[in-house]
Structure 1
C-alpha cells in the first residue's frame, strides 16, 4: 500500500470510528438524515418564510455544519428534516433525540449545560426592553410599580424576576407564550415594557404593523451567548460542530452570514435590522471558544 493510500485508510478509519462512537452520529450515518430543530418567529435567527420554510442566521450556520457532518461521515447525500420547537421544549427535543441540532436562539447557560452541549457562540446578546415610542422609561428601575412582560421560561424572565426581588421594585411581572404576544401586550397597553434579548426585540419590531410606535431601550441587564445546541452524549458530534464553527470564523464565512441577516434587507418585509456586530462577539471570535461565563 502506498503512503497516500495508507493515510486515506487511516483517515477513513478515524471517521468511521467517530461515527460508531457517538450515538447521534451513528444514527445520522445509518439513516442518512439529520433533523434540525427551528423556531417559528425568532427573527433573524430562525423563523418561517412566506412558504413556511425555516430560514435565518442560525439556520444558515446549521446548514454549513450539516454539510461538514456529511463530508466527515463520507455520505453521498444527507437529507435534512425539520422540527419546529418553542422556548418551552427546545432543550427537551435534543435530550429526547427528536432533533440532532437545535438552530434557534438558545442561550448557553450553566443550567442548560447540565442537559445538552453547546458549540462556539454565533451571537452574544442580552436583555433590554421594548416600550412604546412615547415612553420615558430607559432602564429597569423605570418600571417600578408598573407592568413588565417577558416570554415564559427564558433567561430574561428569570433575570427581571431576580432583579425585581433584590431591588424591591414592585414590578408586576407577566409571562407571555411567545415574543409576538408580548409585543401585542405593549401595543394594547396591557404592559409597559417587554424584556427580552435585544436582537430578538429588534426582530419582532421589524414585523410589527407600526414599528415606529415601539422602541428598544436600556443597557444590557444580562449577557446571553447564543449557540447551536446538540446532545451531551455525543462528544464526537460536538467535536465536528466545533471544528466547522472554527473554520467558518477563520475563513470569515461566518462574518458574511452575519452581514446577510443583520445588516441587509431580510424577509418578511425586506427591512434591514442594521445591527453591526457588537464588540463582544468580535472579541470572542478572535479566539473562538465554547467557554462562556454564565
Structure 2
C-alpha cells in the first residue's frame, strides 16, 4: 500500500497545502527581479476612466498610468538600469487574484483599500479619495420602483444595498452598460465611485441631462495601488513616489502640477473641484509622516 494512505488525514491535507503555497511563498521579490530582468508588469483595466483605460490607439493611458511612469523613473535611477513596463490586462473580477498570485507586479487603477483584501496583498499609501454615489437622469421623478444598477462584487454594490435596501437592484457588467441602461430608462440610477461617475457623465453625449448624487458620498473610499505579498521594499518605493507626487502638487511643483492638471484641472480630461483632493493629499502626507515618526 502506498505510504501516503497510511498517514492521518490532517497530515495529508497539510502536506498538500505546503506544496500549493510553496511557489507563492518563495516568489522572487519584485525589486530583485527588476534588477535582473529590467521588466515591471503592470495590471491595466480598460474600464476605469480616467485612471486606467485604453486610448483611441488601444494603448493604456490614464492618471494612474502617469503615476506608474513616475515610479519607473524613480526605479531606473535607484537601480541604475533601464526598466521596461509590460502591461497585462485585468478586469473587475480577476484583478485581486492576479495580484495575490504575483502574476503582475503592481495594480494602480480604481481599486479601493479593503482590510479583507489587505490580508492577501500589500497596499500602497492612498493617492485619491472618492466614495459611492449615484448617476441619475435629471428628468427622472423616481416612481414607486427605484431601480439601481450595480456591478456585482464591487464595494459600491455592497454600500447601496446596505443603505438603500428598499430599491430594486439590477446587475450590470460595467459602467458603460449602466449608462446605456440609464439612458434607456431601464434603471433610475447607476451606483459607482463618484469620480468614475463624474467622468462617465462628462464623456456622455448629453452630460447636462445627468447628475451625480448625493453631494456627499454614502461612504469614503481611498484608491491605492496593490502589490503582491512579500514585497515590502517595492511597497516602500511606490509609497515614496506617490507621497512625493502629492507633496509636489501641494507645493506647485511644475512637473507634478502639470500631471495633476492634465487629468483634473480646469482644462483637464475630467475637470473637478480640486480642493477636496488637495485636502486629501494633506491628510495623507500628515498621517504617513506621523506613522513614520
TM-score, with length taken from structure 1? 0.80
1:203 counterpart SS class: helix
Matching of residue 250 in structure 1 with residue 247 in structure 2: yes
Q: What residue in structure 1 maps to residue 210 of structure 2?
A: 214
Which residue is 2:136 aligned to? Answer: 131
- The Cα of 1:220 is off from its aligned counterpart by 0.9
Q: CA deviation at 1:288?
A: 5.1
Which of 47, 52, 71 aligns to 1:46? It is: 52
Residue 89, structure 1, aligned to residue 88, structure 2: no
Cα distance change on mapping 1:178 and 1:291 into 2, 3 Å? farther
Shift of 1:144: 7.2
Is the contact made by 2:29 and 2:231 (CA closer than 8 Å) also made in structure 1? yes
Q: Report the number of matched residues.
A: 259
CA distance in 1, matches of 2:270, 2:102: 36
Residues of 2 paired with 1:181 and 1:79: CA distance?
Answer: 34
Query: How far has the Cα of 1:51 moved from its partner?
Result: 0.8
Q: 1:144 & 1:260 partners in 2: Cα distance?
A: 43
Calculate the aligned-residue CA RMSD, in Å: 2.5
1:275 and 1:50 mapped to 2: Cα distance?
Answer: 27
Separation in structure 1 between the aligned mates of residue 28 and residue 258 of structure 2, nearest angstrom: 31
Q: Which residue of 2 aligns with 1:80?
A: 85
CA offset digits 1:142-182 (Å, max 9, x no partner): x8741111222111111112223xxxx42111221111111
Displacement of 1:38: 1.4
SS at structure 2 position matched to 1:186: helix
Q: Which residue number corresponds to residue 23 of structure 1? A: 29
Deviation at 1:291, TM superposition (A): 10
How far has the Cα of 1:216 moved from its partner? Answer: 0.9
- Structure number with bigger Rg: 2
Q: Which has the higher contact order (CA 8 A, sep 6+)?
A: 1
Deviation at 1:207, TM superposition (A): 2.2
Q: Is the 8 A contact 2:100 2:228 kept in 1?
A: yes
**8 Å Cα contact 1:249/1:255 also seen in 2:** no
- What are the Cα deviations for residues 243-268 of structure 1, in whole angstroms up to 9, with x where unaligned? 222222333354442222012445xx
Mark the CA change 1:290 to 1:85 in structure 2 (over 3 Å): closer, same or farther.
farther
The 8 Å contact of residues 121 and 290 in structure 1, kept in 2 or not, is answered as: no
TM-score, normalised via structure 2 length:
0.80
Q: Distance in 2 between matches of 1:265 and 1:88?
A: 33
Superposed, 1:1-294 pairs within 5 Å as: 23-75=29-81, 77-136=82-141, 145-164=145-164, 169-218=165-214, 219-252=216-249, 254-266=256-268, 272-278=270-276, 280-287=279-286, 289=288
SS of 1:242's equivalent in the other structure is helix
d(CA) in 2 for partners of 1:32 and 1:126? 36
Output the CA distance in 2 between the equivalents of 1:95 and 1:195. Answer: 27
Question: Tell me, which stretches of 5 or more residues in structure 1 are unaligned?
Answer: 1-20, 138-142
- Structure 2 gaps, min length 5: 1-26, 250-254
Matched-pair contact (CA < 8 Å) for 1:123–1:281: yes
